[in-house]
Amino acid sequence: MAERIAASYWRRVWDTIGHLGTLYTLCTLAAAFVVTAKKVAHMPSNWYAPQYWVSAGAWLFGTLAIAAILATVARKTISWLKRWMRPHSIELRIESGRVGALTLIHHGEVATWRAEGRIMRTLDGSPNEDPLLFQCYFLRDKKIANSMSLKEGESATIILANIGRSEWRSGSWLQIRCGDYGNNTTVTDAGVVMEVNIRSDPASKRAAVCKEFEIKRSINRPDLIEVIELG
């Protein structure tokens, strides 16, 4: 409970700092107009109108350029501080059932996640018909994508396997989801060992995950899939 309260407190602190960054940008823009107005007020009275316009424009755009640079540096510094204080990471939850899946629960600052998978070997010693690396797809809010941006507390699911059925073929079978929906590899009920490599953008060694999972059809309940983490 205390940890949850502390996390909520720091989240409010860093959100406030983010709002201050926006306020800083507005203040620098206002400062650019104030500086320009003061310089125009002190210009010689015997200048021609074009001289006023050129000088005032130079002061205005020059000050705006400096303000924009300072604002950009401030935003990047604040973003870096927030990410340094609350680095992103994921919590993995294994899902066994009618589908075999991994649920990613995001912690820390916003990050974009991608994942790759590979069938390492079969559990019954049969030939591995699809040993190549493939892109995993994320499912969130009924949307499928090959990458997913998540904020604190948000989650997304990677479907690893499902039970295949067809009106043109009797029975059912275990199939590994090799990418988007429809790209499946049929394997024996004994199952396979699958490697999943999850990485983030911005990159972080701490956030990267590379694990192997045993995926097989349940002996007692053939309509269910068992996913077991190895190592």
Mean pLDDT lowest for which of 3-7, 29-33, 138-142?
3-7
Counting residues of the chain whose pLDDT is more than 90, the rounded percentage is 41
State yes or no: pLDDT of 20 exceeds 70.
no
Residue 106 near residue 153 (C-beta atoms within 8 A): yes
Mean pLDDT along residues 23-50: 67
201 token code pair = 């953008």
Question: Coil, strand or helix: which one is 220?
Answer: coil
Mean pLDDT of the chain: 81
Q: What is the pLDDT of residues 38-79, one digit of tens each?
A: 766 666 666 656 766 667 677 667 777 777 777 777 777 766
Which of 12-16, 109-113, 149-153, 199-203 is predicted least confidently? 12-16
Query: How far is the C-alpha of 40 from the C-alpha of 34, rounded, in Å?
Result: 10
> Which class in CATH covers the domain with range 89-229?
mainly beta
User: For 17-21, 141-145, 213-217, which range has the lowest pLDDT when averaged over its residues?
Assistant: 17-21
Q: Which residues contact 134 (CB under 8 A, 6 or more apart)?
A: 116, 117, 118, 178, 179, 183
Beta carbons within 8 Å of 5's beta carbon, 6+ residues apart = none
Domain with CATH 2.60.40 in the chain: 89-229
* pLDDT for position 114: 95
| Whole-model pTM over 0.75 | no
What's the mean pLDDT in 193-207? 88
Report the distance separating Cα 227 and Cα 11, nearest Å.
Answer: 34
Which three-class secondary structure string do you get for 144-177?
EECCEEECCCCEEEEEEEEEEEECCEEEEEEEEE
